[in-house]
Amino acid sequence: MNFDQQNIIIQLKKSTAYSHSVNRIKVLETHISWVLLTGSFVYKIKKEVKFGKVLDFSTLGLRKKYCEKEYKLNRPLCGDMYQSVVKIIHQNGIIRFADLEEKGKPLEYAVKMIEIPQRFRMDNLLKSESINKKTIKSLVGVLVKFHNNAVTNNKISKFALPRLMKKKFDENFETLSKLRQIDPIFEFKLNSFLKDNYHLFNLRIKESKIRDIHGDLYLKNIFIIGNRFYLYDRIEFNDSLRYADVVEDVAHLAMDLDYHQQTDLREYFVSQYIKTSNDKNIINLVYFMMCYKACVRTKVSLFRAREVKMNAKKKIPFEREAKKHLRLARRYLKLF
C-alpha cells in the first residue's frame, strides 16, 4: 500500500480508521494541514511542507514535535477541546488512528480535538447575525485576561525590537513576491513606520506589552458557545510569530471584522479592548498592524490559490480573498 500523505488522507475517509462511531467524515484543507471532521472528534494532520525559515513540517519527527506543541499551547485557552496527540498506523490492512502507547509504527501524527459544530465558529455566527456588542465585550474580557497572564521575559520582549520586526515583515513580503507582484508601497510604508517610531516600540517593551500571544487570532479561529469562548489554533510552528506585542492579536481580529464588513463592531472591539486593558498606546499602533495583518492574509490566500491552480473553480474564492485583503491594506495605509 502507498503510504504517501495524499493516500493516507483517502484511507482516513473510511469509518474503519476510527475507534469511535462517526456521523460523517469531512475533510477540510488549509495550506499547511488537513482537518478531518467526524461529528464527535476532529483530527488535524500537518502537511509535509517547508516554507523558508517560517515553517518546517518536512519530516515525520518535526510533524510529531509540532503536534505536541500545538496541543500544549492550546490547552490554556481551550481546555479539553484539545484531547491528545495520536498517531496513524497500518495494521491488518487498515490505516487507522491509534493512541501513542499502542503498538504500530507511526505513518503520521495528528492532534485530536472535540468537534465543535461549524455554526459556532465566529465568522459563521456573524453571517447568522448572532454577534453583537455584548458578545464582543465578553470576548474582550477573555482576551485581556489571556494577555495579562501570558508569559513575558527579556527573550520574548526582544521580538518587538524594530530590527526583528522588520525581519518578520521582510520575510512576509519576500514570500508574497514569489506568489504575486504587489505594489511596493505596503512594504515601504510599514518599514518606514518601524524606522520612524523606534521610541514607541521601546515604550511597548518597557510597558511589558510583548508577550507569548495567540498569534493567529481571526474569526475562523474562535468558537463561541453560550458564554464559552474557544480561541483555538495558536501558532505552534514558529515562536517568533507568537512572541509579539499584544496589539498583533487585537489588530488581526479588528482587520478581520473589517474584512467581514463589520466596521461598527471593529470600532467597538478596539475601543473596548483599550478601555478594559487600559492600554492607551494601542491606538498609535493598531492601523499599522492591521495593514501588516491584511498583507499576511493576502499571502495565505495566494498560497491556497497556488495549491489549487489546476482547478480554476476552487482558485476563484482564494483570489477574491487576496484582492479584498489588499484593498483593506491599502485603506489602512492612510491611517498610520
pLDDT in tens, 49-66: 998 888 999 999 999 999
pLDDT, position 59: 97
pLDDT exceeds cutoff 80 at 2 = no
pLDDT (tens digit per residue) in 272-321? 999 999 999 999 999 999 999 999 999 999 988 988 777 778 899 999 99
Q: Once rounded to an integer, what is the mean pLDDT over residues 1-19? A: 93
pLDDT exceeds cutoff 80 at 244 = yes
pLDDT, position 216: 97
Return the C-alpha cell found at 53.
525559515
Q: Once rounded to an integer, what is the mean pLDDT over residues 5-29? A: 95
Query: Which one-letter amino acid corresponds to residue 331?
Result: R
Q: Once rounded to an integer, what is the mean pLDDT over residues 168-195? A: 94
pLDDT exceeds cutoff 80 at 88 = yes
Superfamily for domain range 122-333: Aminoglycoside phosphotransferase (APH), C-terminal lobe (3.90.1200.10)
pLDDT, position 303: 86
Place of cell 464582543: 136
Percent of the chain with pLDDT over 90: 92
- For the chain, the domains span 5-115, 122-333
Q: What's the CATH class of domain 5-115?
A: alpha beta
Q: Once rounded to an integer, what is the mean pLDDT over residues 239-246? A: 96
More confident residue, 260 or 309: 260
Q: Once rounded to an integer, what is the mean pLDDT over residues 4-20? A: 96
Residue 190 burial (CB < 10 Å; 0-12/13-18/19+)?
buried
Nearest to residue 276, comparing CAs of 152, 156, 157, 146? 146
Mean of per-residue pLDDT scores for the chain? 95
pLDDT exceeds cutoff 80 at 21 = yes
With contact defined as beta carbons under 8 Å apart, do 137 and 271 qualify? no
pLDDT (tens digit per residue) in 214-242? 999 999 999 999 999 999 999 999 999 99
Confidence of residue 30 (pLDDT cuts 50, 70, 90): confident
Return the C-alpha cell found at 168.
518578520
- Distance (Å, whole) CA 223 – CA 220: 8
Tell me the pTM: 0.93
CA–centroid distance for 34 within its chain:
14
Residue 291 burial (CB < 10 Å; 0-12/13-18/19+)?
buried
pLDDT (tens digit per residue) in 132-179? 999 999 999 999 999 999 999 999 999 999 999 999 999 999 999 999
With contact defined as beta carbons under 8 Å apart, do 60 and 108 qualify? yes
pLDDT, position 146: 98
Q: Once rounded to an integer, what is the mean pLDDT over residues 57-86? A: 97
Distant-in-sequence contacts of 199-205, Cβ < 8 A, 24+ apart = 200/281, 200/284, 200/285, 201/160, 201/161, 201/162, 201/165, 203/281, 204/160, 204/245, 204/247, 204/281, 204/285, 205/157, 205/160, 205/161
Return the C-alpha cell found at 108.
503520521
Cα Rg of the chain, angstroms = 20
Residue 336 burial (CB < 10 Å; 0-12/13-18/19+)?
middle
